[in-house]
Structure 1
């Protein structure tokens, strides 16, 4: 009986050590979503390029050019500011025709890994649909894509502001 009692503590030590090593291996195998240096390096070039792209891109086109051409409808395409989110940059481009928002396109959005692609494959169409329906940046956040939704909303608002003024 005395020999069995000596084996129990050793068995517990071996099992605890194996569990600790396994836990450390799992913990160290986790990769960060984006490296901090990449996230810090992106905003500086993006902000200078968005300032130049936010004010350009307005074009004029005529309406139904058939008989007379008395109605002229201006079509404006404006790219919003690049918004740096926790998972990457988000930027949208809007098309306004006759004072009405007719198209919203996500120019930049997080695509670094398969999870980003999965989230944005369902979030971006919903955000686009809501923006077109609301005709403003007053749209709901898509569950599971909180950061992308916030960046989308901010970039959309900057594009709408640029188109008005």
Structure 2
């Protein structure tokens, strides 16, 4: 009986130590968040056809007030349909760079006559082979879904949830620029 208790306590202690152990990925995210370049990257995107973007961390409008249509949970529910009620809008719009756990994600959309004709993740995590492998299949799926859905109400890609969340947040910012 004592052996079982000792085994259980040892297992729990080992799991706690494993979860709390700082990995190189965690350290690089913390270091990147403290750097001036990361502050610039998360400060917003640029557009060639709309208003400047809001800071991605407050999910608000350009005047700093909360945007009730912003999807702050990072999922696909509640996202605004960018093309709804808008016609004739054309241009290229780049959403704010969204800092995720594995690195920044930034999306650029091309709008022609009020329709999203293409979407592209211009910045995404690629610091290691695993990031490149995941995003090689996830990003094209997300890009295609945007054109099909004509909104940020897209499904997240299984196995790439962190990148998908950042993608949807940056996409929503680009859509807000294009159609507000």
If the TM-score is normalised by the length of the shorter chain, which range does it land in? 0.5 to 0.7
Task: Tell me the equivalent position of 1:37.
Answer: 31
Query: Which aligned segments of 4 or more residues in structure 1 are displaced greater than 6 angstroms?
Result: none
3-state SS of the aligned residue for 1:33? helix
* Worse-superposed segment, 73-82 or 34-43: 34-43
- Aligned residues of 2:107 and 2:170 also touching (Cα < 8 A): yes
Relative CO higher for 1 or 2, CA cutoff 8 Å, sep ≥ 6? 2
Q: Determine the C-alpha separation between the residues in 1 that align with 2:24 and 2:135.
A: 19
Q: Determine the C-alpha separation between the residues in 2 that align with 1:86 and 1:164.
A: 29
Unaligned runs of 5+ in 1: 1-26, 60-72
1:13-38 CA deviation, whole Å, 9 max, x = no partner? Answer: xxxxxxxxxxxxxx9xx952252212
- Residue 100 (1) aligns with residue 92 (2): no
The match for 1:58 among 29, 49, 67 is 49
Aligned residue runs from structure 1 range 134-145, under 5 A: 134-145=149-160
Q: Determine the C-alpha separation between the residues in 1 that align with 2:25 and 2:136.
A: 18
Root-mean-square deviation (Å)? 2.3
Aligned residue runs from structure 1 range 109-148, under 5 A: 109-148=124-163
Task: Tell me the equivalent position of 1:75.
Answer: 90
Query: Relative to 1, partners in 2 of residues 1:74 and 1:163: Cα closer, same or farther, differing over 3 Å?
Result: closer
1:68-89 CA deviation, whole Å, 9 max, x = no partner? Answer: xxxxx65210000110000000
- The size of the alignment, in residue pairs, is 121
Q: Which has the higher helix share?
A: 1
- Aligned residues of 1:39 and 1:88 also touching (Cα < 8 A): no
Query: Relative to 1, partners in 2 of residues 1:156 and 1:47: Cα closer, same or farther, differing over 3 Å?
Result: same
Which is greater in Rg? 1
Q: Determine the C-alpha separation between the residues in 2 that align with 1:77 and 1:138.
A: 20
How far residue 39 of structure 1 moved from its aligned partner, in angstroms, is 3.3
TM-score, normalised relative to structure 2: 0.61
- Residue 46 (1) aligns with residue 41 (2): yes
